Amino acid sequence: MNIAILSGKGGTGKTLLSVNLSYLAENSVYVDCDVEEPNGLLYYKIDNLEQESVLTKIPVINNDLCDGCRICSDFCKFNALAFIKGKIKVYNDLCHSCGGCKLVCPQKAITEIDNAIGVIKSGQYEDTFVLSGELKVGEESGVPIINRLLEESSKLNKTVFIDSPPGNGCTVMESISNADYCILVAEPSIFGLHNLNMVYNLATVFKKKIGLVINKTTGDPIINNYAKEKGLKILTEIPMDFELGKLNSEGEIVSKIPKYKELFFNILETVFKEVN
């Protein structure tokens, strides 16, 4: 079973929920798909993480064969190739690995080699298997890393909790494409509402089962009203709690503490019921 946790923006409590739900669930996997700003390992502190590179194909130019016709650099839609001082240069971090340059080269001067765009880290934390991806600074697209993370997690045949990237871009779509259930997290503010509406639309395009968690509630019914209007199930409301916020900001898994355990456990039970 795959459960994706998403929000329109960072800082709403996506990682808080993903970490604590996966910690409490039996036989679970936590997957950090926020590969640009991965924070899950700040909570799941694991000593001997296994690390593996994520590879994509990038072109290399054989300068003995290249006659400088520039057909490849004209073809490249990502501007990853440039003709500088008489030679074609490849800018790896702009390359999307489409293979176009190799196809169009009339001299057959282009071959492809592996290029590491980031890493996948993994390890066991008590009952939870933890997977985290990290995109190299300066690389353009984290999609290949997310695909690898999801591929790895689906092999395990466990309950997978997917900590999605913020926003509604292509990386978010990738991360929820195989989800059985989406948990949307929102804060009760007009910003929160706007961003919730954005991810709600995304999840409905993909025809996903959806539940909503309202985080840092202060009594303002702005999100509750929206949920009512859309017929959206509210899984729980987490009140604004300074102690919880402080522990979380320091990288503690708060559901280890009895008084917070129940809160997350209830969400988990409801979600399981909803999926089945």
Partner 1 sequence: MIIALPTKTSGEKSFISDHFGRTNYFYIYNTETKLGEAYINANKDGQGGVGVKSSEFIINKNVEVLITPSVGEKSLRVLNEGEVKIYKSIEKIVKVNIESFLNGELKELF
Partner 2 sequence: MKQLLILSGKGGTGKTTIASSFIELSKARAFADCDVEAPNLHLLKHEGTKISKPYFGMKKAIIDQEKCIQCGLCKESCNFNSISFDGTYTIDEFGCEGCSVCEFVCPVNAIKMVDNENGEMTVYKGNSVFSTAELKMGSGNSGKLVIAVKNQLEENLTNQELTIIDGSPGIGCPVIASLSGVDMVLIVAEPSLSGISDMERIIKTARIFQVKIAVCVNKFDTNIALTRKIENYILPLDIDYVGKIPYDKLVTEFTNRGKMFVDEDLEVSKAVKSIYKQTIKILNS
Task: Give burial (CB, 10 Å; 0-12/13-18/19+) of 275.
Answer: middle
Least distance from C-beta 249 to partner 1, angstroms? 31
Rounded to whole angstroms, how far apart are CA atoms 17 and 253?
10
Least distance from C-beta 176 to partner 2, angstroms? 11
Least distance from C-beta 273 to partner 2, angstroms? 29
Question: Among residues 57 and 208, whose Cβ is nearest to partner 2?
Answer: 57
Question: Among residues 77 and 273, whose Cβ is nearest to partner 1?
Answer: 77
91 binds, among partner 1, partner 2, none (CB under 5 to 8 A by kind): partner 1
188 SS3 class? coil
Under 8 Å CB-to-CB from 138, ≥6 apart: which residues?
Answer: 93
The number of angstroms, rounded, from the C-alpha of 141 to the middle of its chain's C-alpha atoms is 12
Least distance from C-beta 85 to partner 2, angstroms? 24
Number of residues counted as binding partner 2 (CB under 8 A): 53
The label of the residue with tokens 């959806």 reads 210
Least distance from C-beta 80 to partner 2, angstroms? 11
110 SS3 class? strand
80 binds, among partner 1, partner 2, none (CB under 5 to 8 A by kind): partner 1
The sign of the CA dihedral 199, 206, 38, 96 is negative
Interaction between residue 239 and partner 2 (CB under 8 A): no
Q: How many CB atoms lie within 10 A of CB 120?
A: 22
Among 67, 70, 74, 191, binds partner 2 (CB under 8 A): 191
Beta strands in 33-109 (DSSP E): 50-61, 81-84, 87-90
Among 146, 195, 214, 260, binds partner 2 (CB under 8 A): 195
The residues pairing with 131 across neighbouring beta strands, listed in sequence order, are 31, 122
Residues forming the site for partner 2 (CB under 8 A): 8-12, 15, 36-37, 39, 42, 57, 75, 77-78, 96-100, 103-104, 137, 140-141, 166-171, 173, 187-191, 194-195, 198, 201-202, 205, 218, 220, 222, 240, 242, 245-246, 248-251
